[in-house]
Homo-oligomer: A and B are copies of this chain.
Amino acid sequence: MTPAPGEDRLTARIAAAARAGGIRAPGGASLRMGIGDDAAVVDLPKGRYVLTTDTLVEGVDFFPGELPFWIGRRAAAANLSDLAAMGALPVGFLLSIAVRRKDGARAARRIAEGAISRMRPFRAALWGGDLSRAAATVVTILLVGKAPRPVARSGARPGDVLFVTGSPGSAKAAMELRCSRVGRPPRAGERPYVDPPPRVAFGRALAGRRWATAMIDISDGLGRDARRLAAASRVRLVFERAPPGALSGDSDDFELLFASPAAREGSILRLGRRLTTPVARVGRVETGKGVVLEKAGGRRAAVSGGGWDHFA
């Protein structure tokens, strides 16, 4: 028989990398047929599942010439952040990779290895995917998780307190550092952009305790995603403090913005310390609509415009 052609050989190598991780589908899910058939077959127990997909495009979501391994890790982090915002735990994922012909099979394999390495600590198994070529690198992940108590954007109530994880704005600063070092192994200062830590454990803990009334990931910008949460919950969000520029920037921060009953404030700050997740109170929820920032002397400024919009 002729040796396996390029695409089949690549599929086999990615399957080997996935197995090398020794991940079994968690949460009672059981992979029956995986990488290499027309589709993945998974036995799922009855439950509430969360499905998210996020696409990263070269030149839009990452720099041309970026190292494929880190593109894969970042694609995984983006999807993990969406699940974190629902309070879900990852179960398994599909990975669709398109690379330029000249970059070839090695780039695709390194993207897969990066994604697998980022998913591993969260025990999400690679179930399957798709390989193709394109004029630019495009990575799409479909991530499946479980969430007995998913948190929507729509449950914030007047009187709630607003929190943000991490340091909004730090991804942008790290991106500016990365800009001049694209294609080289990332330094620590570039990590908030190149390899942000998804807040999966923290999001899951909030949801499990019912401490978050509404939650969203702020990857399109703190101000923009705050307006989405306010609109979905039909409330006004009042920021009492915000990092300079964070409310008008487009961020790329894979952090969580959430509302909680005021009585939970102390518990939430303790939970953050226990899970080593930086979390800070940044505001509160009122009746009304839109998003405002409190300034010195009690003046308020509307937070409008800014943020990332592919179709603005």
Number of copies of this kind of chain in the complex: 2
Decide: B44 and A232 in contact? CB cutoff 8 A: no
Q: Would you call A2 an interface residue if the criterion is a C-beta within 8 Å of the partner chain's C-beta atoms?
A: yes
Neighbouring B residues of A310 by C-beta, 8 Å: 6-7, 131-133
Within 275-312 of A, Cβ neighbours of B (below 8 Å) are at: 289-290, 304-305, 307, 309-312
Interface string of A17-59 (1 = CB under 8 A from B): 0000000000000001100111111111111111111110101
Distance between Cα atoms of A59 and B144 in the complex (Å): 30
- The one of B45, B132, B142, B290 that contacts A51, using a Cβ cutoff of 8 Å: B142
Q: Would you call A222 an interface residue if the criterion is a C-beta within 8 Å of the partner chain's C-beta atoms?
A: no
* Contacts known (A133-B57, A138-B98); A40 close to B51, Cβ less than 8 A: yes
Q: Would you call A201 an interface residue if the criterion is a C-beta within 8 Å of the partner chain's C-beta atoms?
A: no
Within 85-110 of A, Cβ neighbours of B (below 8 Å) are at: 85-86, 88, 94, 96, 98, 104-105, 108
Decide: A8 and B228 in contact? CB cutoff 8 A: yes
Determine the main DSSP class of A at the interface with B: mixed
Distance between Cα atoms of A44 and B145 in the complex (Å): 12
* Closest B residue, CB atoms, query A306: B5
* Contacts known (A310-B131, A312-B5); A46 close to B48, Cβ less than 8 A: no
Decide: A39 and B83 in contact? CB cutoff 8 A: yes
Decide: A311 and B38 in contact? CB cutoff 8 A: no
Instruction: State the Cβ distance, A30 to closest chain B Cβ, in Å.
Output: 9
Q: Would you call A188 an interface residue if the criterion is a C-beta within 8 Å of the partner chain's C-beta atoms?
A: no
Instruction: State the Cβ distance, A67 to closest chain B Cβ, in Å.
Output: 19
* Contacts known (A42-B49, A83-B39); A54 close to B5, Cβ less than 8 A: no
Ordered by A's residue number, 18 sampled pairs between the chains whose C-beta atoms are within 8 Å are: A1-B289, A2-B227, A2-B290, A5-B311, A5-B312, A7-B309, A37-B86, A37-B152, A37-B232, A38-B52, A42-B48, A43-B48, A51-B128, A57-B134, A57-B138, A130-B140, A134-B136, A140-B140
A interface list, Cβ under 8 A from B:
1-2, 4-10, 32-33, 36-55, 57, 59-61, 82-83, 85-86, 88, 94, 96, 98, 104-105, 108, 127-136, 138, 140, 142, 144-145, 147, 150, 152-154, 216-217, 224, 227-228, 231-232, 289-290, 304-305, 307, 309-312
